[in-house]
Structure 1
Amino acid sequence: MSYSAPRGKENITPHPYGKATQMFKLMGFPFTMFCKGCGYGSVAQAICRVYTEEKLQEELYPFIVNIGCYSSMPTVLPGKILMTLHGRGIAVATGVKMANPNIKPISIHGDGDLLSIGTNHFIHGARRNIDMIVILLNNNIYGMTGGQHAPTTPMGSKTSTTPRRYGEQPIDAVELAKVAGATYVARWTTNTMREFMKSFKKAIHRKGFSFIEIVSQCPTQYGSKNALPKALDGFNFIKNNSVRINKAKDMSPDELKGKYIIGEHLEIDRPTLWDRKSELIEKAKE
């Protein structure tokens, strides 16, 4: 149940890194608004490249951006941007989709944003199978507000609110998405950006609720408190603790403890919310 993504020659951003980038360079602003070594800059670049390579029409693929470290992404993202409240991106994207079914919203979230205050919207967005893309940027911490522990913080980690280490079981967003009803689920890291781009392109050209998680290093807040102060430290930590999904199938739970299982975790087809609503409308007309 796939479909061709709407494309158009008009309003296509000519610059692969977003319209604002050239303006910032002329004004003398830094190329990136992120902390030194943060992985979110590479994610933003990959998103811009996919948007340009696929020649996506701005009006049909708006970005919904919430509150978090990544909130400066609109300065470089192409297309139309909707800035919304903390955790409410999927609710806004639902309204956008139901108001105009030709639109494919792309909602970008942080781990605290999506899996704390926004958990309810995440679950019901997947359950309803709304035709949209959710991108989760997971840096294991509340980076923007001072380094507090987040729902994804690994057990045993130090944060500004858990100086004696964190003792709770973290949420596995991939498993939650699968159980809630998402039809495409994948996890990648800042070490596997090409695979992320392939997943993003696949999500663009399919119907249904697509969820893609990207695990990123955070030298400033998470790394500095957990013996990973340099960007390369966090980058290599993620790389060394990532396991491909085909290999993970032959590993025990103890062997997978603390590992990031990367790859495409789920791809199925089922009717979207708009499909079901349209069917009900037609029956009511009869």
Structure 2
Amino acid sequence: MSADDWFRKDRLPHIFCAGCGNGTIINCTLSAVDSLGWKIDDTVFVSGIGCSSRAPGYIATDSLHTTHGRALPFATGVKMAKPDFHVVVFTGDGDLSAIGGNHFIHACRRNIDITVICMNNQIYGMTGGQGSPCTPTGAYSTTTPYGMDEMPFDLCELATAAGANFVARWTSYHVKELTQAITAGLQKPGLSFIEVLVQCPTNYGRRNKLRDVQSMISSMRDHALLKEKRDRLLAEGKSVPSDTFVVGILTDKNRPALGVKR
């Protein structure tokens, strides 16, 4: 098999906006899945509601396109009923951290043996460009026309604090590193959480002077700070630039996992 064999080609072309980075995340995920020799009949993709949540519709496995924010409870049910199955969740920052926030922290607390991939475009992309819990302070959206005045969630810190075994963050620019992180997460017992900062030129970019796709990708590249460099700065007593976000494998531990067949 190859990664192409995992696509439902009859569902193409996709409905994502021109310049959307979600397709890149799907490609990275399927490359990782295929490299591990997983089988289509033993793999399930689960999603909630939103742009990112349309992803399983293009994949040849069985899938669940569930209600808003509820992908993790459905995925938990699948894993508990079929512990031999590989269960992967596609979600977005609004779906995961707003209406789905309580499910997120408890899935991490239970350390259920699934992989959660969050396509974080920092906005509600599908329903009109409203601000989400991950919209940066000062950013513009349809519900924050004067700029967001609240602090955003750090989803990776939240996942780590709640008990996830594996936590990583990359962007849609870092294709090689992202694929490697997803591959590692898929193999890790317990809950693996991979956050991917991804461009949304239609609803985030055009309101924040980043409508050009290359501008958004370049901005993510230029503001990403490797965890190793962040740690080195702190060890040297230097300050971490306030306009950066940390990328890399942020958590890798071995708490007992729920849903692992023993």
TM-score tier by shorter-chain length is over 0.9
Query: Per-residue CA shift, 1:181-200, capped at 9, x if unaligned?
Result: 00000001011111111111
CA distance in 1, matches of 2:204, 2:5: 27
1:235 aligns with 2:217: yes
Please give the TM-score of this superposition, normalised by the length of structure 1: 0.85
Query: Per-residue CA shift, 1:155-185, capped at 9, x if unaligned?
Result: 0011111111110000000000000000000
Aligned partner letter, 1:234: M
What is the aligned-residue RMSD (CA, Å)?
A: 1.9
Identify which of 205, 208, 225 aligns with 2:207.
225
Counting only pairs closer than 5 Å after superposition, residues 6-155 of structure 1 correspond to structure 2 as 16=4, 18-21=6-9, 23-24=10-11, 30=13, 32-155=14-137
Query: Per-residue CA shift, 1:22-48, capped at 9, x if unaligned?
Result: x35xxxx63x32111111111111122
Task: Give SS of 1:120's match.
Answer: helix
Counting only pairs closer than 5 Å after superposition, residues 201-220 of structure 1 correspond to structure 2 as 201-220=183-202
Task: Give SS of 2:98's match.
Answer: helix
CA distance in 1, matches of 2:3, 2:163: 36
Which residue does 2:144 correspond to in 1?
A: 162
Which residue does 1:177 correspond to in 2?
A: 159
Any stretches of 5+ residues in structure 2 without a counterpart? none
Which residue does 2:253 correspond to in 1?
A: 268
Q: 1:260 to 1:104 in 2, by over 3 A?
A: same
Across the two proteins, how many residue pairs are aligned to each other?
A: 259
Q: Measure how far apart 1:15 and its partner are.
A: 5.5
Kindly, what percent of the aligned residue pairs are identical?
Answer: 37
77-86 or 238-247: bigger deviation = 77-86
CA distance in 2, matches of 1:236, 1:201: 25
Q: 1:260 to 1:17 in 2, by over 3 A?
A: farther
Q: Measure how far apart 1:106 and its partner are.
A: 0.4
Q: Measure how far apart 1:55 and its partner are.
A: 2.3
CA distance in 2, matches of 1:183, 1:256: 28
Task: Give SS of 2:60's match.
Answer: coil
Which structure has the larger Rg?
1
Task: Give SS of 2:193's match.
Answer: strand
Query: Per-residue CA shift, 1:243-280, capped at 9, x if unaligned?
Result: 000111215896342322000001010211246x97xx
Task: Give SS of 2:64's match.
Answer: strand
CA distance in 1, matches of 2:58, 2:259: 31
Aligned partner letter, 2:228: N
The answer to whether the Cα contact below 8 Å between 1:44 and 1:76 also exists between their aligned partners in 2 is no
Query: Per-residue CA shift, 1:190-216, capped at 9, x if unaligned?
Result: 111111111111122221110000000
CA distance in 2, matches of 1:97, 1:224: 40
Any stretches of 5+ residues in structure 1 without a counterpart? 1-12, 279-286
Please give the TM-score of this superposition, normalised by the length of structure 2: 0.93
